[in-house]
Amino acid sequence: MRKLIAIEFVTLDGVVQAPGGPDEDTSGGFAHGGWIRPYADPVQSAVIRKQMSLPFDLLVGRVTYDIWAAYWPQHPGVWPEVQTATKYVASNTVTAHAWQPTVFLSGDVAARVAALKGRPGPDLHAYGSANLLQTLFARDLVDALWLRIHPITLGGGKRLFAGGAIPAAFRLAEHQVTSTGVVLVNYERAGALPSSDG
């Protein structure tokens, strides 16, 4: 069974909205887009490049897909792996797009994702997609969290665990700290919440 890995840039107060640019996602009046830029460094770039080069299929929400579909097909040499990866998109409104291969998931998205996880194929990498993640967390479908925790708070915006999460344990698989204070950490599921009894 393939894993579902949530890959997120996140602030200390859990915000994941619009890390890449000022106009990336201004929904809810969010005015802090592009907050990761001052924290770039070679260590983080190397980790990101390594993760981007792994075999994967992409799982994103429609908003993230719209942002990516407007950018990545125009820059095929920067991330060739995303061009050939199957892109699974949670959407009840869009059913086709020129950026291929793309499969749109409608209806009970959690059930569709659970079925995808049971099929042969590379791991599913979920980037951004804050709204979709809430559904995945609630149905216990996320197997790993690859987080890039930035040393800032924004006070508002879409949050990683906005809808809460089921009680679960994770184990630390990898970690690094960059020169700009970003903590790069990979957590993998480690079963149920440990008992608090002695």
Contact predicate 101/82, CB 8 Å: no
Query: How does residue 129 score in pLDDT terms, banded at 50, 70 and 90?
Result: very high
Complete domains list, the chain, with CATH? 1-122+133-145 (3.40.430.10)
3-state secondary structure the chain: CCCEEEEEEEECCCECCCCCCCCCCCHHHCCCCCCCHHHCCHHHHHHHHHHHCCCCEEEEEHHHHHHHHHHHHHCCCCCHHHHHCCEEEECCCCCCCCCCCEEEECCCHHHHHHHHHHCCCCCEEEECCHHHHHHHHHCCCCCEEEEEEECCCCCCCCECCCCCCCCCCEEEEEEEECCCCCEEEEEEECCCCCCCCC
Please give the backbone phi and psi of residue 162, each rounded to the nearest 5 degrees, phi first.
-60, -35
Distance CA 141, CA 190 (A): 13
Model confidence at 110: pLDDT above 90: yes
Query: Residue 163: what pLDDT?
Result: 86
pLDDT tens profile 25-41: 999 999 999 999 999 99
pLDDT tens profile 166-188: 889 999 999 999 999 999 999 99
The whole-model pTM stands at: 0.94
Query: Residue 164: what pLDDT?
Result: 81
User: What would the mean pLDDT of 79-87 be, rounded to a whole number?
Assistant: 97
Model confidence at 197: pLDDT above 80: no
Model confidence at 70: pLDDT above 60: yes
